[in-house]
């Protein structure tokens, strides 16, 4: 999920409510609040708690809500954050993989830290892990994935490895457990669904979530349409490098959900140019054409 801001860069609650309804109206199967797209590293802990509570209340049980906000370095503060997010009524609290060890440390440190966090986390919620690219990208080793699956506590991995062979290996590691793998990478998405992946959790759902919903729900029954749609989505996803999340917020302004495209993580201006804006709008317009051509409602 994105976090809309008003002219003072405070959370715009009216726009956030519109965004929630837009996602749910598109048929999404869940919401991920307080993630990198939400600019969680630029929110205070108090703002994060209020944001997550708002999403949970407005979703009103229509779809599951998971949330992170796991941004701290110190173990004690991380526990405080995990417990605080759990208290907001989410279905699962999502840990950030790069908070589990420093860049030069190995998987044994990750497992030791995740074991301690898991032990102290409330048992009233599920747990998950997101391979967030900021402030550095830490992919989960096989032993970490195996540990999470065997623990019985983990329900969700947001996979950002962008490698279909790695995804297939991870799917084998979690087979028979309650741990689900959601692919964040569009280019490998269709092949990962064929391999048994459990869904999509990526930034391009901030532009055309209904297309990802259709692909997830229909790839097996309509493989020809799914392949053509996947080709479009893979190319469209290359546009996420154009000053994200400014470009996504600009799109949301264009469809009437947001009042501004302001971010805390970066400014528009020189970063998001009129050329980039035009490119994004053409990408979205082509998506509408694809829906018509393929007969996707």
By annotation, the residues acting in catalysis are 130, 158
CA distance 100 to 98: 5
Residue 118 is encoded by which pair of tokens?
Answer: 């898991």
Q: What is the CA radius of gyration of the chain?
A: 19
User: Which residues touch 167 (CB under 8 Å, ≥6 apart)?
Assistant: 159, 161, 181, 183, 188, 192, 195, 197
Comparing C-alpha atoms, which of 157, 156, 83 is closest to residue 123?
A: 83
CA distance 261 to 272: 10
For β-strands 65-67 and 31-33, DSSP reports them as parallel
What residues pair up with 157 in beta bridges, in sequence order?
129, 181
CA 290 to chain centre: 24
Comparing C-alpha atoms, which of 78, 76, 95, 80 is closest to residue 34?
A: 95
Comparing C-alpha atoms, which of 222, 208, 213 is closest to residue 289?
A: 208
- Please give the DSSP secondary-structure letter assigned to residue 149: H
């Amino acid at each position: 999920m994105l976090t809309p801001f008003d002219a003072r860069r405070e959370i715009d609650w009216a726009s956030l409510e519109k965004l929630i309804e837009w996602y749910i109206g598109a048929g999404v199967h869940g919401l991920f609040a307080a993630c990198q797209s939400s600019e969680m590293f630029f929110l205070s802990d108090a703002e994060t708690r209020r944001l997550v509570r708002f999403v949970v209340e407005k979703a009103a049980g229509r779809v599951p809500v998971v949330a992170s906000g796991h941004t701290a370095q110190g173990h004690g503060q991380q526990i405080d954050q995990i417990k605080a997010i759990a208290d907001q009524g989410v279905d699962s609290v999502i840990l950030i993989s790069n908070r589990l060890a420093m860049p030069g440390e190995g998987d044994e440190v990750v497992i030791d830290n995740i074991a301690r966090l898991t032990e102290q986390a409330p048992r009233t919620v599920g747990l998950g892990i997101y391979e967030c690219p900021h402030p550095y990208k830490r992919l989960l080793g096989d032993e970490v994935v195996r540990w999470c699956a065997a623990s019985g506590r983990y329900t969700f991995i947001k996979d950002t490895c962008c490698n279909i062979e790695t995804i297939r290996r991870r799917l084998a590691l979690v087979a028979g457990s309650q741990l689900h793998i959601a692919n964040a990478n569009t280019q490998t998405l269709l092949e990962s669904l064929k391999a048994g992946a459990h869904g999509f959790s990526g930034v391009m759902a901030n532009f055309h979530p209904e297309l990802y919903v259709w692909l997830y729900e229909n790839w097996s029954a309509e493989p020809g349409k799914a392949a053509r749609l996947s080709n479009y989505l893979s190319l469209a996803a290359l546009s996420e490098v154009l000053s994200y999340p400014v470009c996504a917020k600009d799109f949301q302004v264009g469809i009437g959900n947001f009042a501004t495209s302001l971010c805390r993580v970066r400014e528009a201006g020189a970063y998001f140019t009129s050329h980039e804006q035009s490119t994004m709008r053409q990408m979205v317009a082509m998506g509408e054409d694809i829906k018509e051509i393929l007969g996707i409602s």
